[in-house]
């Protein structure tokens, strides 16, 4: 008889699943952690942390290029691309190593640095060893989706998982896809001086954003970079050191050439490599694990969280789900997931952030809704920043007279949105949480208050969008 080691808890994935592992270990449980790659998950190693570190260099470069508008003449003499990447990855590698060492140093954990797959509902083959868990947490994330396009298997390409390995700055980067990964990385390469081409099969970039946000962003990005919309990619090929992409636009073929190809067409769950379906787990039509409101899978005693569950594909979403799993799996509670106030941000230029329903979602849900928008440039700080594109859009329910969504495009959008998050979460969307709060003048946050002040419950804002305050006090910047 072959011995099979049994654990109180098995956590698959070294990202937010470690939050649950630590919680279980502190309760004295025997915990196994399975992570074949570096610890910290996608966010630390190939996602939000490294991307934001390199994007900060892009922000500096962009500030220098914009300096003449503020009366300061400056120039970029050179870009040490290798140094930017090394600074980023050295930090990432150190952080991942520290997490791994901490796990290895604890007697509560057994760390498996091998690929694994299920052999049964609660048994796992990890390396050459089979283990069993009383409770299992599946937090194994996703991987880049690579579309089956002719010739792609014969050319060199990068994804968001491999692009951080670059040591030399490319002259011309071609992105396939128009989502947040492509737009953030395009901002990085483009701001540092690389030519950028984005090839997107849809009619707009960031198409999942509120329609007004997506429209303005697409227009802005198209003035900065070469953006091909409604483009059908037919074939890839290589000529010397150049990658060629054959694209069909409005029925006509066009060839785009560049020295770096990045495939950014979304991500797919790791349920296939784990052989979840074969082990009896229910998956949805896109291959993500089916979970109920308590993050329970179809197998009793097994929970899932993070990207592989397909509910909130953000690090903060995974951390939120980890808290639910802790309560539901170990404290005997029944805490249901609520994603109505799940925010997100896109760290491109212009920056984007949002929380709650878009106008399109409000319409699909049959709400009797109204919207209000306020431009950055009509505030003191917006004027100081020369932000002519930025705006805040509010979506509100006429019946309840509550805010149901806030969407921001412009400077520091990822920070400004937090006022809306608190108003929706703590005040149930009551506009007074924002309108009745004193805002520092002329801080940029005034644009959020003025957008909410602009809500007209009976129809569109009167007098060309002026707020009640503006009409009664002739408020100036």
In sequence order, what are the residues at sequence separation of 6 or more whose Cβ sits closer than 8 angstroms to the Cβ of residue 357?
365, 367, 395, 404, 405
In angstroms, the CA 437 to CA 272 distance is 50
Give the angle subtended at the CA of 186 by the CAs of 185 and 191, to the nearest 5°.
Answer: 105
Yes or no: say if 237 and 151 are a contact pair by the CB < 8 Å rule.
yes
Given this model, what pLDDT does residue 458 score?
82
Helix (H) or strand (E) holding 176: strand 172-176
Cross-strand partners of 255: 246
Yes or no: say if 295 and 309 are a contact pair by the CB < 8 Å rule.
yes
Structural tokens at position 174: 């071609």
In angstroms, the CA 416 to CA 421 distance is 9
Place of tokens 């880049």: 144
Structural tokens at position 95: 């952080």
Q: Nearest-CA neighbor of 147 among 177, 182, 168, 167?
A: 177
Active site residue 441: yes
Say how far residue 234 (Cα) sits from the centre of its chain. 28
Q: What are phi and psi of 106, to 5 degrees?
A: -95, 130
Given this model, what pLDDT does residue 298 score?
98
Given this model, what pLDDT does residue 412 score?
98
In this structure, the strands spanning 352-356 and 402-409 are: antiparallel
Given this model, what pLDDT does residue 471 score?
40
In sequence order, what are the residues at sequence separation of 6 or more whose Cβ sits closer than 8 angstroms to the Cβ of residue 159?
144, 146, 262, 263, 264
Q: Nearest-CA neighbor of 142 among 16, 33, 232, 242?
A: 16
In angstroms, the CA 436 to CA 364 distance is 31
| Tally of CB atoms within 10 A around 101 | 11
Given this model, what pLDDT does residue 82 score?
97
CA Rg, the chain, in Å? Answer: 24
Model confidence, pTM: 0.94
Domains of the chain from N-terminus onward: 5-143+268-330 (3.50.50.60), 152-265 (3.50.50.60), 350-473 (3.30.390.30)
Q: Nearest-CA neighbor of 133 among 36, 270, 24, 31?
A: 31
Yes or no: say if 33 and 18 are a contact pair by the CB < 8 Å rule.
yes
Prior bond to 353 cis, omega within 30? Answer: no
In angstroms, the CA 397 to CA 432 distance is 14
Structural tokens at position 15: 């990202």
In this structure, the strands spanning 391-397 and 352-356 are: unpaired
Structural tokens at position 308: 């592989």
Q: Nearest-CA neighbor of 43 among 104, 83, 92, 102?
A: 92
In angstroms, the CA 344 to CA 255 distance is 35
Q: What are phi and psi of 473, to 5 degrees?
A: -120, 0
**Positions of the chain with pLDDT under 70:** 1-2, 459-477
In angstroms, the CA 186 to CA 181 distance is 8
Yes or no: say if 274 and 117 are a contact pair by the CB < 8 Å rule.
yes
Structural tokens at position 16: 């937010």
Most distant CA pair in the chain, distance: 85
Catalytic residue, candidates 117, 226, 407, 441: 441
Torsion-angle region of 253 (φ positive above 0: left; ψ -120 to 50: alpha; else: beta): beta
Given this model, what pLDDT does residue 477 score?
60
Helix (H) or strand (E) holding 346: strand 344-346
In sequence order, what are the residues at sequence separation of 6 or more whose Cβ sits closer than 8 angstroms to the Cβ of residue 210?
354, 358, 359, 360, 393, 395, 405, 407
Given this model, what pLDDT does residue 241 score?
87
């Amino acid at each position: 008889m072959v011995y099979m080691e049994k654990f109180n808890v098995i956590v698959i994935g070294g990202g937010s699943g470690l939050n649950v592992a630590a919680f279980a270990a502190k309760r004295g449980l025997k915990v196994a952690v399975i992570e074949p790659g570096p610890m910290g998950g996608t966010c630390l190693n190939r996602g939000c942390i490294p991307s934001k570190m390199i994007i900060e260099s892009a922000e500096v470069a962009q500030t220098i290029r914009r300096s003449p508008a503020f009366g300061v003449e400056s120039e970029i003499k050179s870009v040490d691309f290798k140094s930017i990447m090394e600074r980023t990855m050295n930090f990432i590698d150190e952080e991942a190593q520290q997490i791994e060492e901490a796990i290895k140093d604890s007697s509560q954990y057994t760390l498996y640095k091998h690929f694994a797959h299920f052999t049964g509902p609660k048994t796992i083959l990890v390396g050459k060893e089979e283990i069993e868990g009383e409770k299992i947490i599946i937090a194994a994330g996703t991987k880049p989706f690579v579309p089956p396009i002719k010739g792609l298997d014969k050319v060199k390409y990068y994804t968001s998982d491999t692009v951080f390995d670059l040591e030399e700055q490319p002259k011309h980067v071609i992105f396939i896809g128009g989502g947040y990964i492509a737009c953030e990385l395009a901002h990085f390469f483009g701001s540092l001086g690389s030519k950028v081409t984005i090839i997107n099969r849809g009619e707009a970039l960031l198409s999942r954003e509120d329609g007004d946000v997506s429209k303005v962003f697409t227009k802005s990005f198209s003035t900065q970079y070469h953006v091909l919309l409604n483009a059908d990619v037919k074939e890839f090929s290589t000529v010397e050191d150049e990658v060629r992409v054959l694209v069909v636009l409005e029925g006509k073929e066009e060839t785009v050439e560049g020295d770096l190809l990045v495939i950014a067409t979304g991500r797919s769950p790791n349920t296939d490599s784990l052989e979840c379906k074969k082990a009896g787990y229910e998956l949805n039509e896109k291959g993500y694990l089916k979970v109920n409101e308590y993050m329970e899978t179809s197998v009793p005693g097994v929970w899932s969280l993070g990207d592989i569950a397909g509910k909130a594909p953000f690090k903060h979403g995974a951390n939120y789900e980890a808290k639910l799993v802790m309560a539901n799996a170990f404290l005997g509670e029944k805490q249901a997931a609520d994603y109505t106030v799940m925010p997100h941000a896109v760290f491109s230029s212009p920056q984007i952030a949002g929380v709650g329903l878009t106008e399109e979602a409000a319409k699909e849900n049959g709400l009797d809704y109204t919207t209000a928008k306020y431009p950055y440039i009509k505030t003191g700080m917006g004027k100081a920043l020369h932000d002519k594109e930025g705006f805040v859009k509010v979506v509100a329910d006429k019946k309840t007279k509550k805010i149901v969504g806030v969407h921001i495009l412009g400077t520091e959008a990822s920070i400004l949105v937090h006022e809306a998050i608190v108003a929706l979460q703590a005040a149930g969307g009551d506009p007074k949480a924002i309108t009745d709060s004193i805002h520092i003048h002329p801080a940029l946050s005034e644009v959020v208050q003025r957008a909410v002040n602009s809500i007209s419950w009976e129809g569109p804002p009167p007098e060309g969008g002026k707020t009640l305050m503006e009409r009664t006090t002739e408020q100036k910047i």
